[in-house]
Structure 1
């Protein structure tokens, strides 16, 4: 079971899987006869605190001029029960405390006639039962016959006690049967109302304090961070401890290794939920846990990736914890990052099996067959030739080649490295604007150089250093930093943050209205980009304390890192404070992972995300004039003189080619890479510029390919396309 808190009240509760919300929320209401009710979530001021850093038990103090309400939330470590303990102190004796609980989606709700009464709801095959010191209960429909509507319509008096409601958006309501003082509630979950109620009552009988103590002890017994890491934090290590816990909490308990991106939906839009698995977010979470010493968590992540990998070697853009695709879209970096996670485990000496046949080989083959352009980049609103996606893919192919060589797959190893060399050699031609001297966010054309006005300005090039392909002091990196900082850097009171890219509209409007698909706003600063800049600073030998402090400030007193922070003037009515979380997703696992990895890298003076084979091959003296690789996804049209051309096809046979218009021809047999395709090397290095090479494929069975192909030799210095 997982629970979240928003606006000082219980928000989504997930059960029995972390991507399956059972309860949409439980909020407290306060009312007195003759006056409108107070919705605590919307009208009170809240302070949310961890019981102690690293223990996911939370206390909330809600203050309103009519009352003070203190609550704490914890789960029973031994059963499916959520406990809420509270202490209510109204200013006037006739002020009463109520609650309203809303099951997620279509549900059935009913009042259980007990002494005191209880509330039950069924959502699909899950039952939940809420027990506590209730004097009266009701089960209505949200926004029509719920308790809050009743209190509003009747001047603060509860008049309706509906027995049941079903087949819709149900809202359960209760009046707490006391005027002030402490109270305890329990929500039990089970396969039947009897099972759920039994668990809840048993927990209350044992006592919230005892259960909470067992919960605290269980979390304290888990391995923590080293003293060296905590010492370099700016806040004494509080956010680091909480980040480690947040990452651990993102894992599903039944399908181990399935780490979701966040247990929430940005701006409360259910269709936009982040309670799904993105392999990119999973990589960052699992590698952060690996850096923190939690080897088993990283191994579980690899096992989960192996279990959910599709037959073609890819993963969906996002998926449920069961592996069911949430969309049909695809991002190449999400195919490459699982390879890098395997490599990270291997470097740490804790890889417990050979991942080449089960994960690395199929994923690498998919990259080679599909790249270099990505259907979607990591921001999921555009595709093309992304420096970030390319950096990740090239690094992944480099280490995949090493995995292949390790098991004797020499043909595969050779070809994967040839493709990595080709893409690396073309990278600047695809994504670097030589006129304005910076990398673009997205290149669009395999045959022409990018233009800033087409590709946009973003920080995607930082991944070239992060993965080891370029040095931090590379002039192209440095000039790109200058170009990107001008429109994207935001200097806040506690340090610098960055927006994603010029033209980003994923965020609140300037007047604080929430983002929606029909009302785009303005993209705000993302803490993860501050973490990425911190890693770049480490690679360049620069101080990183300012990035650490800026990230810690983003977390606020709740110690939760959000997707975005507000950079406008304070808007109290919208709960937007400069430098604090917007209505975007929080806590975001990727952000906590970036902070934790930056802190560990700072403490150890190491860069574990930098892929050593890629750094050795490309950051110094990269291979001179590597072969140009033709693939159906990358049908080369021009080749610089002096280059070998490798043709990649999906059937064996012979490549029949001519350089004199067909007056003569040559036959080059293909050989099997054991990656699902065959290759042939065309020795065209001596051909002069202007020569047109025509070719086709004669299959092994004697049939011919339906198409003819050609490329033109161009002077050296013009990039291949």
Structure 2
């Protein structure tokens, strides 16, 4: 019988604030589970960017009474079954019942096992289950069926994926979300399940039914496959194995993975619980089909208000990927980082860059460019090279094209690391400069010394201009962005924390007075001293976060909240100065809460229970965030080993002491600066061989300088601008095989810098 009420509610994502996330090690089981509001939230299959199940939640009802939605009305306590093992136990308490649940992925099958124990306060209070498939925004509708089995089997189809749920169902129905699902039917029939629909087609569908137990233990299994029969068989096999055996095999699989250094656990403030959880979260973020692809988070920020599928975090950002796998590398497991580098090599664009973010199959999601996301794969390759685990030289196919992209598109980045503006960013410049110096090391090792020299020349130039571009001398602090390379930051430039990357990567010493003054300025406007500990906002004017009343962010409307990962960034600096960081470590552990899920943002105002917002705990954006867990883990490794884990030694050797003197300004098609200080050389970088013809007397006379091959597919010539007086101009043009490029260029000498 076809259910009424199609197509059902508009599609959305589950809550961004997850209380649990995990998968089984290995590639046999291609499911990832999440927990939210004490119930099962999205389950991904067969890839980590493809949510198949939207949710599975429990309902409780008695005849003559409205039903209780366990997810929204009970009080939940979520705990890991064992430290570092990402299966979850939930104790849910309501005036009418007690419900204990356990969620675990089957390590041998693409299945999730749900076990529980139900204890009602009165004998006629029955337990129900409702599940829905994820409806892809803009995609085709899903289908739902109740198979005539004993007991019934609940089935849903989502595109090419099938979901089958087996368990002790007494009766069951298929319907449409919010119009003919189990919860609606219980409401409409005074707490009794009366609907008998066995089919719902082409919509936002749900299945559910009555669990045939008045009280006591129960088990369900959810099978995933590419056919209906296979999904049912997977679910039945998993249920026959039983929750106890599945959990035992699952725990053993996690115990077989490389352990954390015991010294890391010793320096944690909570005995190591969050450290172990962080390792599990980071490992779980890797896809099993596209190995080495680590998504940023298994959540969509403010997911229940996200309707179009654009704002999702189960995508690849190379920046997040770097922080995830470098943390695992620092704790002694290099294999994920090696797989990640191989994955990045497969996903690199022909021009050497990576898209702003992209799906696991490489398809771009947002098509912007962030130059630090081109730099971080180079830094990952360099980090792996220092430990001797690289099997192939990444220089010719990955590092060289990426470095070329940086020097032909920088120093201005179209988008900075916060993705809402571009320009000259201290954080982006720090990553790019360090990456160019690291790339030069690879070039030298490959015998391409002209390439190495040119990469260092560009890095030296960008490093030389860091302060003129990004440091506000009058107020003695670095700014978030500057749009104009010919002018210092404007007085109204926004204050941010991007400069932290300058000392983390080794371009500044942690006690540099410019860093000290910048921290003082940032603390005055960005620091939040919460009961849980200190935490920082990203930048002045940040609009990415809940409104003051706690309502969700929406594009163009919001107020940015503090980010825990910025607490970890600050702790790295204090640690480098040998200052105590126990308060900062404890703050991070408090922000994660008892569920051990580090969020993107924490709520910094009074509690709003109706919005599930508590001071110092996760907002509705996303939890867990892999970047935050990676920063916490790297911090503990640095604390335990007394070493700076993120410093790029070649860059530190080159810049943190006495920097190279007065490098040439490097002009190219996407960096056409107009002015330069007296006494400085200007080099011209182009993408064809030939010569540069220049004049200092408006073409009354001219001279020619041949372009030198850098072996990067770029040619460079240096003009004698160091002899020019303030106010003088030099014009030039380039010629290739006797062909004039068709344009003249001018730079003006503006006098010596103070």
**How high is the TM-score relative to the length of structure 1?**
0.98
**1:214 pairs with 232, 246, 249, which one?**
249
d(CA) in 2 for partners of 1:390 and 1:497?
A: 24
Tell whether 2:147 aligns with 1:130.
no
Shift of 1:606: 0.7
Q: What is the alpha-carbon root mean square deviation over aligned residues?
A: 1.0
Aligned to 1:149: 184
For 1:509, the equivalent position in structure 2 comes to 547
Deviates more, 1:539-548 or 1:100-109: 539-548
CA distance in 2, matches of 1:487, 1:122: 51
- Residue in structure 1 matched with residue 213 of structure 2 by the alignment: 178
1:23 offset after TM fit, Å?
0.5
Aligned-pair distance for 1:253? Answer: 0.7
Q: What SS does the corresponding residue of 1:266 show, helix, strand or coil?
A: coil
Q: 1:107 maps to what in 2?
A: 142
Q: What CA distance in whole angstroms lies between the structure 2 residues aligned with 1:209 and 1:140?
A: 32
- Which of 35, 54, 58 is residue 65 of structure 2 equivalent to? 35
Whether 2:403 is the aligned partner of 1:377: answer no
2:461 equivalent to 1:422: yes
Map of 1:358 onto structure 2: 397
Once the two structures are TM-superposed, the CA of residue 271 in structure 1 deviates from its matched residue by 2.9
- Asked whether 1:286 is paired with 2:317, we answer no
Corresponding residue to 1:671 among 690, 705, 708 = 708
Q: Are residue 687 (structure 1) and residue 724 (structure 2) matched? A: yes
1:627 corresponds in structure 2 to 664
Asked if the contact 1:55/1:245 (under 8 Å) is kept, the reply is yes
Q: Which residue of 2 aligns with 1:494?
A: 532
Question: Structure 2: how far apart are the matches of 1:485 and 1:92?
Answer: 55
Cα drift, residue 641 of structure 1: 2.0
Equivalent position to 1:432, from 471, 477, 480 = 471
SS of the counterpart of 1:101?
A: strand
Structure 1 CA distance, aligned partners of 2:588 and 2:464?
35
The range that moved more, 473-482 or 637-646, is 637-646
Match of 1:315 in 2: 354
Q: Give the Cα–Cα distance (whole angstroms) in 1 for the partners of residues 178 and 555 of structure 2.
A: 24
- 1:430/1:448 contact within 8 Å kept: yes
CA 1:50–1:416: 2 relative to 1, 3 Å: same
By relative contact order (CA 8 Å, sep 6+), the higher-ranking structure is 2
Q: List alignment gaps of at least 5 residues for structure 1.
A: none
Whether 2:89 is the aligned partner of 1:59: answer yes
Say if 1:440 and 1:452, in contact at 8 Å, map to a contact too.
no
Aligned partners of 1:495 and 1:347: how far apart in 2? 35
Quote how far apart the aligned CAs of 1:44 are. 0.6
Which of 621, 625, 650 is the matching residue for 2:687? 650
Deviation at 1:443, TM superposition (A): 0.7
Determine if the alignment matches structure 1 residue 715 to structure 2 residue 745: no
Partner SS state of residue 722, structure 2: coil
In the alignment, the residues of structure 2 paired with residue 373 and residue 271 of structure 1 have an alpha-carbon distance, to the nearest angstrom, of 26
Is 1:450 matched with 2:485? no
State the Cα distance separating 1:694 from its structure 2 match.
0.7
Question: Corresponding residue for 1:333?
Answer: 372
Are 1:658 and 1:664, in contact at CA under 8 Å, matched by a contact in 2?
yes
- SS where residue 423 of structure 1 aligns? helix
Q: Tell me by how many angstroms 1:620 deviates.
A: 1.1
Offset at residue 546 of structure 1 (A) = 1.5
Across the two proteins, how many residue pairs are aligned to each other? 715
Q: Secondary structure at the match of 2:172?
A: strand
State whether structure 2 residue 156 is matched by structure 1 residue 118: no
8 Å contact kept, 1:72–1:85: yes
Structure 1 counterpart SS, 2:358: coil
Distance 1:297 1:573 in 2: 40
Distance in 2, Cα, partners of 1:162 & 1:671? 76
Structure 1 residue 67, shift from structure 2 partner: 0.5
The CA deviation at 1:422 is: 0.6
| Shift of residue 636, structure 1, vs aligned partner | 2.4
Q: Which residue of 2 aligns with 1:614?
A: 651
What does the per-residue CA deviation read over 1:453-489, in whole Å, with 9 as the maximum and x for residues that have no partner?
1x20111100000111111111111111010001111
Whether the aligned pair in 2 keeps the contact of 1:467 and 1:609 (CA below 8 Å) is yes
**Cα offset for 1:521?**
2.2
2:100 is aligned with 1:82? no
Structure 1 runs (4+) deviating above 6 angstroms are: none
Residue 401 of structure 1 is matched in structure 2 by: 440
- The 1-side partners of 2:239 and 2:441 are apart by 57
Q: CA deviation at 1:428?
A: 0.8
2:75 to 41, 45, 48: 45
Q: Deviations over 1:546-573 (max 9, x none)?
A: 1111101111000110001111111112
Q: Distance in 2 between matches of 1:703 and 1:552?
A: 64
Distance in 1 between the 2:155 and 2:658 partners?
68
TM-score if structure 2 supplies the norm length?
Answer: 0.94
Q: Measure, in 1, the Cα distance between the counterparts of 2:548 and 2:563.
A: 16
In the TM superposition, what whole-angstrom CA distance separates every residue of 1:343-386 from its partner, at most 9, and x where no partner exists? Answer: 11111222221111111000000000111111111111111111
Q: Which moved more, 1:179-188 or 1:673-682?
A: 673-682
**How is 1:235-314 mapped onto 2 (pairs within 5 angstroms)?**
235-268=270-303, 269=306, 270-314=309-353
Alpha-carbon distance in structure 1 between the residues aligned to 2:516 and 2:614 = 33
Measure the CA separation in 2 of the matches of 1:638 and 1:460.
26
In 2: Cα distance, 1:452 partner to 1:531 partner:
29
CA distance in 2, matches of 1:544, 1:374: 33
Q: Is the 8 A contact 1:440 1:451 kept in 2?
A: no
Deviation at 1:674, TM superposition (A): 2.1
Counterparts of 1:451 and 1:546, CA distance in 2: 35
Query: Do 1:561 and 1:587's aligned partners in 2 also have CA atoms closer than 8 Å?
Result: yes
